[in-house]
Amino acid sequence: MRYLIAIFSFVLSILPAIAQEEASTFVEKGAIAYERGDFEGAAKAFNEALEQNGSNASLLYNLGNAHYQSGNYGQAIVDYERALFLDPRASDIRTNLEMARNATTAFEEKSEPAIWEKPLHWLSLNEWFLACGIAAGLLAVVSLMRAFLSGRKGQVSLRWVTVVSLFVLAIGVSALILRQGELDRAIVLRPGTEVRLSPFSTADVVATLREGQGVQIQEEHEGFYLLSKGWVSKEDLQKVCADS
C-alpha cells in the first residue's frame, strides 16, 4: 500500500512537469512554423501548447500573431485581448492588438480611456480584484485589532494602514465598476455577423457586425447571445474572459 501511495505521489508530482515539457515542445514547433511562414501550423501548435499548459500571456500573444498572419483577425483580437487580461502593461500586445483592429476596421467606440480613467487601467481586472481583496483583508485585521487592543500603542500605525487600505479599496472598486463590462466582453469572429431579432437562425436580421468588433453580452439562450441590439449565434462570438 505504501508503495502504491509513493508511486501515486510521484506520478502526481511529475505530471505538471511532463505537461510543461510537452507545452514547450509545441511552443518550439509553433515558433519554427511561424518562421517558415506556416502561420496556420503555428496557430495549431500554440493552441496545443495552451491546451497542455493552460493560459499564458506570451503564448496567447504568439497565438494572436499566428492568427493575425493567417488573416484571422477576429480570432487574433480575442487572443491579444486575452493576453492583455493577463499582462495589461505589455506594449507589444497593445501594438499588435491595434494593428489587428485596424486590419478589420473594427474601431472601438472608445479605444482610449480618458485621462482620469487611465490610472484605473494600470492594473488588470484580476489585479484590481486582488488589490481590493487584500485591502478588505487588511481593513478586517485592523478593525479587529482596534476592537481588541486597548491603549494607544500602535494606534497610529493602524490608522495609516486603514487610510491606505481605504484608498486602495476606493480606487479598486471604482476601477471594477468602470470596467465591469469587460467581464462579459466578446469579440465578433466573422465578417458580416448577423444580429437577429430573436434567438432563432430564421429570425429577421436587424443589424450586422464587423469582424473583430467588441460587443457586450447581456444574456445567453440556446446557442445565442443577446447583445444590446439583438441575438447573435454563439459560433460568431468568442468571450474574452472565461465563463464563471
Q: Write out the binding residues for another protein, residues 201-230 only, by CB under 8 A.
A: 204-211, 213, 229
> Which element (helix H / strand E) includes 134?
helix 125-148
> Can you give the length of the chain in residues?
244
- Judged by CB under 8 A, the stretch of 2-10, 113-121, 132-140, 217-225 that binds another protein is 132-140
Choosing from 9, 111, 143, 155, the residue that interacts with another protein (CB under 8 A) is: 143
Rounded to whole angstroms, the Cα distance separating 83 from 148 reads: 45
Choosing from 6, 11, 14, 92, the residue that interacts with another protein (CB under 8 A) is: 92
C-alpha cell belonging to residue 156: 497610529
Q: Which of positions 175-194 make contact with another protein (CB under 8 A)?
A: 183, 191-192
| 99 binds another protein, rule: CB under 8 A | yes
> Which element (helix H / strand E) includes 56?
none
Rounded to whole angstroms, the Cα distance separating 69 from 64 reads: 9
Choosing from 6, 144, 164, 170, the residue that interacts with another protein (CB under 8 A) is: 144
The one-letter amino acid code at 167 reads: F
Q: How far is the CB of 122 from another protein (least distance, A)?
A: 17
Q: Which of positions 7-66 make contact with another protein (CB under 8 A)?
A: 20, 23-24, 27, 31, 34, 37, 49, 53-59, 61-62, 65
Q: Which of 89, 33, 87 is nearest to 65 (CA)?
A: 33
What pairs with residue 185 in β-bridges?
A: 216
| 96 binds another protein, rule: CB under 8 A | yes
